C-alpha cells in the first residue's frame, strides 16, 4: 500500500542514499526515477509506484525542502506532457523501458512532428508519407512549427501510411530519431525575434518498425492521446497562488505606485481573480486526471490560459506606458525554454500571441468544447469518407 507516509519515508531514504549536495544532478534524477519517485502514478519499474497521482505533491514537497534538483520540466515539456503519456498508453514494454527513463531525467529531449504547411488545424490532412520497406519505414515530407527540434533527440511523428483510405484512417504514429541523416532542422523566427521552433525536412528517413506506436493505420487514435495531453500540459501547469503571467504585473503594481490608475486597478483585480479561478480549475483537472486520460475539459483550460495570458500581458504593457513598449533585443536566440516570468513585459506581450495558436487554435478548441462538452451539433464534415489521395489540396 503506497500512502503519503510510505512515500515520505521512501523519499527520505532516497535523500539519505543520494544527498543532493554531494550528488551529481543527473545521477540524482536517475536514482529518483529508479526509486519510483519520478511520477508516482506511473507503473513500477517505469519511474513510478502505481500510486494515486495526487500523492506526487508529497514527494515534490520533501524533495524541494531538501534542495534536491528537479528535471527542469520547461526544457522537456513535450517529452513529459505529450510523448510520455502516449508511450505509456501505446508503447510495448521494450519501448517504455527504452524511452521513459532518459525522457524523464532530461537526458533526451523530445519534440513533436505533427503540423505541416498544409495541415495545422486540419491535422488529419497531413501529407508526410511513410512507406514500408522490410523491417522499417522510409519517411519523406515536411513538418513545420516544430518547437525544440534543434535540441531534440527523439520526435513523435505522424505520417500517412495509406493514401487510399479516408484521411483519419491512413495515418500511423512513429518515434523518429532526430539524429538520422535525413532529418534537416531549420530555424523559424517568431514575432519575438527568437527561434524556438523550426521547419523540419524529412528525406528518406528510416524508422524501424519497432519504433511504431500503436497499430498501422491507428495513428489518429494514438495522436488524440498526445493532443489531449498537450492541452493539459500547456493550459494546466501547476502554479502557486499569484503564479504565472499575473505575477510580474501584480509585482509592478505593488512596487510602482506612480503607475496606478483607477481603471487599471479594476481590470487588474478582475484578471487576478480569473487567474486564480483558472489555477484552481487546473488543480481540479489534475485530480480528475488521476482517474485516467484527460477529456475535452483540457481544451477549455487551454482556451482560458491563452485568453488570460494575452489580456494580462496587454494590461502590463499599458501599466508600464512607454517603458512597456521597450523591446529592442532582436537577437535571434535558440531558446531551450519558454520563460514568461524571467523576461521583460514586451517579450511576454509578444510571446503570448502564440498561446492561442499552439496546441490547437482557440477557434478549434471552441469547436471541441461546443461539440464534446456542450453537445452542440458538429461542424459539417464532407471529406471524412473520401480517400485522402482524392481530396482537393
Ligand atoms: C509557438 C508555437 C509552437 C508550436 N509548436 C508546435 C510543435 O512543436 N509541433 C507541431 O506539430 N506544431 C506546433 N505548432 C503548430 C500549431 O499546432 C499550429 O500552428 C496550429 O495547430 C494551427 O495550425 P495552422 O498554423 O496551420 O493554422 P490554420 O489551421 O491554417 O488556421 C488558420 C486560422 O483558421 C482558423 N480555423 C481553422 N480551422 C477552423 C475551424 N474548423 N473552425 C474555425 N476556425 C478555424 C484557425 O483558428 C486560425 O485562426 C506550434 C505553433 C506555435 C504558434
Question: What's 169's DSSP letter?
Answer: T
Tens digits of per-residue pLDDT, 57-69?
999 999 999 999 9
Q: Which runs of consecutive H residues, i.e. helices, occur in 169-261?
A: 219-235, 246-255
Q: Above 90 in pLDDT, residue 44? A: yes
Tell me the mean pLDDT in the region 182-187.
98
Q: Is 361 in the pocket of ligand 1 (CB under 6 A)?
A: yes
Determine the Cα–Cα distance for residues 206 and 200; give it in Å rounded to an integer.
15
Greater model confidence, 106 or 331: 106
Q: Is 145 in the pocket of ligand 1 (CB under 6 A)?
A: yes
Active-site positions? 230
For atom 38 of ligand 1, the residue with the nearest CA is 121
The pLDDT of 179-195, averaged and rounded, is 96
Q: What is the mean pLDDT of the chain?
A: 94
| Protein residue whose Cα sits closest to atom 50 of ligand 1 | 358
Q: Which of 27, 172, 190 is nearest to 101 (CA)?
A: 27
Closest CA to 176 of 101, 108, 117: 108
Mutate to test the pocket of ligand 1, among 120, 223, 303, 377 (most ligand atoms within 8 A of CB): 120
pLDDT higher for 235 or 182? 182
Q: Are 8 and 49 in contact (CB under 8 A)?
A: no
Q: Give, using CA atoms, the residue closest to atom 40 of ligand 1.
A: 364
| Percentage of residues of the chain with pLDDT beyond 90 | 81
Sign of the torsion formed by the C-alpha atoms of 271, 272, 273 and 274: positive
The arithmetic mean of pLDDT across residues 74-79, rounded, is: 94
CB of 56 shorter than 6 A to ligand 1: no
358 CB within 6 A, ligand 1: yes
pLDDT at residue number 116 = 98
Residue 1's pLDDT is what?
Answer: 61
Q: Tell me the domains of the chain and their CATH numbers.
A: 4-70 (no CATH), 79-215 (2.40.110.10), 223-373 (1.20.140.10)
Whether 188 lines ligand 1, by a CB cut-off of 6 Å, is no
Rounded distance from Cα 117 to ligand 1 centre (Å): 10
Could you tell me which residue, 198 or 393, shows the higher pLDDT? Answer: 198
pLDDT at res. 112: 98
For ligand 1, is residue 12 a contact (CB within 6 Å)? no
Ligand 1 centroid to 118 CA: how many Å? 10
Contact 73, 58 (CB under 8 A): no
Q: Measuring CA to CA, which residue among 148, 168, 146, 166 is closest to residue 157?
A: 146
Which residue carries 507503473 as its cell?
A: 43
Provide CB contacts within 8 A for 120, sequence distance 6+: 145, 361
- For atom 13 of ligand 1, which residue has the closest CA? 145
Statement: residue 53 has pLDDT above 90: no
Q: Residue written as cell 493550459? A: 235
Pairing of strands 154-160, 136-143: unpaired
pLDDT band at 384 (very low <50, low <70, confident <90, very high): confident
Q: What is the band of 290 on the pLDDT scale with cuts at 50, 70, 90? A: low
**Closest ligand 1 atom to 114 CA:** 11
Look at residue 385 and tell me whether its pLDDT is greater than 80: yes
23: Cβ below 6 Å to ligand 1? Answer: no
**What confidence tens digit (pLDDT) does each residue in 123-141 have?**
999 999 999 999 999 999 9
Amino acid at each position: 500500500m503506497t500512502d503519503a507516509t510510505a512515500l515520505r519515508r521512501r523519499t527520505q531514504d532516497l535523500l539519505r542514499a543520494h544527498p543532493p549536495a554531494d550528488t551529481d544532478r543527473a545521477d540524482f534524477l536517475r536514482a529518483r526515477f529508479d526509486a519510483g519517485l519520478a511520477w508516482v502514478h506511473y507503473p513500477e519499474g517505469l519511474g513510478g509506484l502505481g500510486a494515486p497521482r495526487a500523492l506526487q505533491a508529497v514527494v515534490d514537497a520533501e524533495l524541494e525542502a531538501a534542495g534536491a534538483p528537479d528535471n527542469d520540466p520547461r526544457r522537456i515539456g513535450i517529452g513529459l506532457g505529450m510523448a510520455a503519456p502516449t508511450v505509456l498508453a501505446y508503447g510495448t514494454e521494450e519501448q517504455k523501458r527504452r524511452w521513459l527513463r532518459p525522457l524523464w531525467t532530461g537526458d533526451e529531449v523530445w519534440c513533436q512532428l505533427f503540423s505541416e504547411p498544409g495541415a495545422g488545424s486540419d491535422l488529419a490532412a497531413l501529407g508526410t508519407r511513410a512507406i514500408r520497406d522490410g523491417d522499417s519505414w522510409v519517411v519523406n515530407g515536411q513538418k513545420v512549427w516544430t518547437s525544440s527540434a534543434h535540441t531534440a533527440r527523439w520526435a513523435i511523428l505522424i505520417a500517412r501510411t495509406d493514401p487510399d483510405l479516408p484521411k483519419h484512417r491512413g495515418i500511423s504514429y512513429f518515434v523518429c530519431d532526430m539524429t538520422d541523416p535525413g532529418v534537416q532542422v531549420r530555424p523559424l523566427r517568431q514575432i519575438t525575434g527568437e527561434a524556438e521552433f523550426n521547419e523540419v525536412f524529412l528525406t528518406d528517413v528510416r524508422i524501424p518498425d519497432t519504433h511504431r506506436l500503436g497499430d498501422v493505420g491507428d495513428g489518429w487514435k494514438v495522436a488524440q492521446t498526445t493532443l489531449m495531453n498537450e492541452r493539459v500540459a500547456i493550459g494546466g501547469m501547476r502554479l502557486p497562488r499569484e503564479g504565472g503571467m499575473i505575477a510580474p504585473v501584480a509585482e509592478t503594481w505593488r512596487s510602482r505606485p506612480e503607475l496606478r490608475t483607477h481603471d487599471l486597478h479594476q481590470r487588474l483585480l478582475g484578471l487576478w481573480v480569473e487567474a486564480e479561478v483558472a489555477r484552481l480549475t487546473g488543480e481540479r483537472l489534475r485530480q480528475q486526471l488521476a482517474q485516467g486520460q484527460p477529456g475535452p475539459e483540457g481544451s477549455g483550460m487551454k482556451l482560458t490560459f491563452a485568453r488570460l495570458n494575452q489580456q494580462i500581458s496587454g494590461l502590463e504593457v499599458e501599466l508600464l506606458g512607454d517603458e512597456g513598449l521597450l523591446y529592442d533585443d532582436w537577437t535571434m536566440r535558440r531558446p531551450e525554454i519558454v520563460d514568461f516570468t524571467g523576461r521583460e513585459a514586451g517579450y511576454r506581450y509578444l510571446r503570448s500571441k502564440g498561446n492561442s495558436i499552439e496546441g490547437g487554435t482557440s477557434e478549434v478548441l471552441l469547436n471541441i468544447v461546443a461539440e464534446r462538452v456542450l453537445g452542440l451539433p458538429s461542424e459539417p464534415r464532407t471529406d471524412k469518407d473520401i480517400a485522402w489521395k482524392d481530396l482537393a489540396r
